[in-house]
Amino acid sequence: MTTDPAQPGREPRVLVLSTSLHPHSRSRILAEQARISLSHRGAQVAWFDCRDVQLPYMDGHGAHGHEGAQALQRALGACDAALIATGIYNYDVSAVAKACMELGGRAWNDKTVGIACAAGSMVSYMAHMGLANSLMLDFRCVIVPRFVYATGDAFKDGALTDEGTQSRLAELCGSLLDLARRRL
């Protein structure tokens, strides 16, 4: 990626992608906290909440032309970096997170990507690696080598309350911006 000559020294444009459809999503809480942290660090932050967009089933044929898929592609195309917030289910990221990767298609190319996960226990600590590997190998994304994995103990009354998780999320946001700035 090169710097846009019309915007010398601009801050990275970061898309925060909340992939949970659950009304009381913990990964959405992580996404909201990341959005705040990134904004406070000077990033241009955009928000994409999968609860607000109907995404099609990935059919390997016409799904990329669907209105929801095109909205995702436009959001990704307008950013330099993305932070994916996802829940962990059955030892893997959510089906919606996987669909976002597939439906985003080439709009993912060469992005800097951070990942934040919310899970029920620590047994799926490496569950996001399949997503990270696909983003690296299929779309040549640079994956931030720091990620957040938070269990239910980190949340209380709809808020992220664990100081260690808050600190790790802030570090993830800082690392995401540092890498994205270097790639502009």
Write the single-letter amino acid at 84: I
The string over 55-87, giving b where at least 16 C-beta atoms fall within 10 Å of a residue's C-beta and e elsewhere, is beebeeeebbebebbebbbebbeebbbbbbbbb
Q: What is the pLDDT of residue 60?
A: 79
Q: For 13-53, give the secondary structure using H, E and C.
A: EEEEEECCCCCCCHHHHHHHHHHHHHHHCCCEEEEEEHHHC
Q: What is the pLDDT of residue 3?
A: 42
Cα separation, 17 vs 104, in Å, equals: 12
Q: What is the pLDDT of residue 95?
A: 96
Do residues 154 and 121 make contact, with C-beta atoms less than 8 angstroms apart? no
Within 10 Å of residue 175's Cβ, how many Cβ atoms? 16
- Termini Cα distance of the chain: 5
Q: What is the pLDDT of residue 6?
A: 45
Sign of dihedral through CA atoms 17, 150, 182, 39?
positive
3-state class (DSSP) for residue 184: coil
Cα separation, 150 vs 166, in Å, equals: 10
Q: Give mean pLDDT in consecutive 10-residue pieces for the chain, a chain of 184 residues.
A: 54 97 96 98 97 91 93 98 97 96 97 97 95 98 97 97 98 98 94
Q: What is the pLDDT of residue 7?
A: 56
pTM of the predicted structure, to 2 decimals: 0.94
Instruction: Return the CATH class of domain 13-183.
Output: alpha beta
Residues 6+ positions from 28 with CB-CB distance below 8 Å: 18, 20, 22, 49, 51, 85
Q: In DSSP terms, which residues pair with 150 in a beta bridge?
A: 118
